[in-house]
Amino acid sequence: MAPPVTSVVRPSSAKASGARSAWLKTLHQWHWISSALCLIGMLLFAATGITLNHASSIESKPTVVNRQAQVPDALMDLVRVPEPAPPAEPVTPAAAASQGAATPVATKAQPQDHKTTLPTPLRDWLTQTLGRAVDDREAEWSRDEIYLSMPRPGGDAWVRIDRATGEVEFEDTDRGWISYFNDLHKGRHAGVAWSWFIDLFAVACLLFSITGLLILKFHAVSRPSTWPIVGLGFLLPALLALLFMH
């Protein structure tokens, strides 16, 4: 009777197999975590990629709202152009020396046009009157008017205040949900928080893609079609860019 055949596992081979299994387990863990983090974002950016690619074919009818108002008398001091200060009496160098003061140095006058936020009472009144939240973004102040632009994803709004009469003109444009999500895709007028989200989302996508590539490398031995398919995914956009883009 022949003796039973026993397999001998070399210590080096077993150690390499254990290390490979540990690496593969870690990659799978990072892969599913990163995929879970960027799942909703991937769906959003993929869908809006289609709508942006066919933006000319998707018709949207914006909704425009116009309102007019009058700044109350109690707030007109915050709007009016301030009266120029009376000119100071000239001081001769002899008088300045006798008083122990330095000779005044002429300074440039402040420009009429500047940018600054609206006073809080005026912002609160505009929010209540216009039915649109007016935040602390900077407005353009000129001698004749105050102009506040309030763009947002999927829409736009502006307020113009006549500094002499206090007349207020307001226009609000809403371009719809498709435009809203398209602007989120581009990060257009979405604010700092959304900009941070896009950066974090991009990092999660990089982790998802890199760990997926490394997992493919581990399984490529038993799946001969792995690298041809990966190469096709690189070759197809490269050929399109070289042959059809001018």
66 & 130 share domain:
yes
153 & 128 share domain:
yes
Greater confidence, 42 or 106?
A: 42
Looking at residue 101, its pLDDT comes to 47
197 & 223 share domain:
yes
Cβ–Cβ under 8 Å, residues 185 and 1: no
Tell me the pLDDT band of 105, cut-offs 50, 70 and 90.
Answer: very low
Distance separating alpha carbons of residues 71 and 56, to the nearest angstrom: 41
Domain boundary among 159, 175, 191: 175
Question: In the chain, pLDDT over 70 holds for what percent of residues?
Answer: 81
133 & 162 share domain:
yes
Domain membership of residue 210 (yes or no) is: yes
Q: Whole domain around residue 233: which residue ranges?
A: 18-58+180-237
Total domains, the chain? 2
Domain membership of residue 104 (yes or no) is: no
157 & 212 share domain:
no
Q: What does the pLDDT average to over 133-138?
A: 91
What are the tens digits of pLDDT across the range 10-67? 556 666 677 778 888 999 999 999 999 999 999 999 999 999 999 888 888 899 999 9
Q: What does the pLDDT average to over 5-10?
A: 51
Domain boundary among 141, 156, 175: 175
Distance separating alpha carbons of residues 171 and 177, to the nearest angstrom: 19
75 & 144 share domain:
yes
74 & 144 share domain:
yes
Please name every residue paired with 140 in a beta bridge, in sequence order, or none if there are none. Answer: 115, 147
Domain membership of residue 242 (yes or no) is: no
68 & 160 share domain:
yes
Domain membership of residue 166 (yes or no) is: yes
Question: In the chain, pLDDT over 90 holds for what percent of residues?
Answer: 62
What are the tens digits of pLDDT across the range 182-238? 999 999 999 999 999 999 999 999 999 999 999 998 888 888 898 999 999 999 989
Asked whether the predicted pLDDT for residue 116 surpasses 50, the reply is: yes
159 & 190 share domain:
no
Domain membership of residue 85 (yes or no) is: no
Looking at residue 108, its pLDDT comes to 44
Cβ–Cβ under 8 Å, residues 145 and 5: no
- CA 136: distance to chain centroid? 18
136 & 170 share domain:
yes
Domain membership of residue 168 (yes or no) is: yes
pTM of this prediction? 0.74
Domain membership of residue 209 (yes or no) is: yes
Looking at residue 110, its pLDDT comes to 44
Looking at residue 94, its pLDDT comes to 59
Looking at residue 106, its pLDDT comes to 40
Domain membership of residue 70 (yes or no) is: yes
Looking at residue 84, its pLDDT comes to 59
